[in-house]
């Protein structure tokens, strides 16, 4: 198993750090008997605005990390892609969806191994609580700068302090 031509072409539009993550993810997936595909790297203005129009992105051009050159975002999906549908039985839907979470684990491990800080579209704030996501983009991974990483930590700490204060008031 290895990436196909389209995947390789999409990977080549990404930053060197994302390229390393994508290749490491492929090796990890291969060792597990799992196959991956890369459906997007860089998006031009037309593609980005179309994704926004279809509600596949929350950002218009040029605000997405997909719009940078080289791209700071990539879509890595299980192959073959089996999107869950409303008509499927609950068990089948869960299995289709579960494959995306397996890929997320593989890519996040690859990023950790490559020492690349990434954000996943299934847990935008990186708190490990996937149920608080209001916009799921399960195949989306993007690089995060050190400055943004610190801002995320500060935001989490502020939320935790607010929760403690609210709990403290409620117990009086």
**How do residues 149-167 score in pLDDT, each as one tens digit?**
555 555 566 666 666 666 6
In a domain, 60, yes or no: yes
CATH code where residue 69 lies:
3.30.1380.10
Q: State CA 42 to chain mean position distance.
A: 15
Terminal C-alpha separation, the chain? 60
Q: What is residue 166's predicted lDDT score, i.e. its pLDDT?
A: 62
In a domain, 168, yes or no: no
Q: What is residue 2's predicted lDDT score, i.e. its pLDDT?
A: 77
In a domain, 166, yes or no: no
In a domain, 158, yes or no: no
Higher local confidence (pLDDT), 49 or 150? 49
Q: Which residue range forms the structural domain that includes residue 17?
A: 5-145
Overall number of domains in the chain? 1
């Amino acid at each position: 198993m290895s990436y196909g031509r389209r995947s390789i072409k999409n990977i080549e539009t990404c930053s060197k750090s994302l390229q390393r993550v994508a290749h490491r993810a492929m090796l990890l997936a291969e060792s597990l008997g799992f196959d991956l595909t890369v459906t997007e790297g860089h998006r031009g203005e037309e593609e980005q605005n179309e994704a926004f129009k279809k509600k596949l992105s929350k950002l218009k051009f040029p605000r997405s990390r997909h719009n940078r050159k080289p791209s700071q975002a990539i879509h890595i999906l299980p192959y073959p892609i089996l999107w869950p549908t409303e008509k499927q039985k609950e068990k089948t839907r869960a299995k289709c969806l579960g494959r995306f979470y397996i890929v997320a684990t593989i890519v996040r491990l690859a990023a950790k191994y490559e020492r690349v800080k990434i954000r996943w579209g299934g847990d935008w704030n990186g708190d490990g609580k996937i149920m608080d996501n209001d916009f799921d983009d399960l195949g989306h991974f993007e690089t995060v700068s050190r400055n943004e990483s610190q801002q995320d930590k500060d935001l989490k700490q502020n939320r935790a302090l607010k929760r403690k204060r609210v709990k403290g008031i409620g117990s009086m």
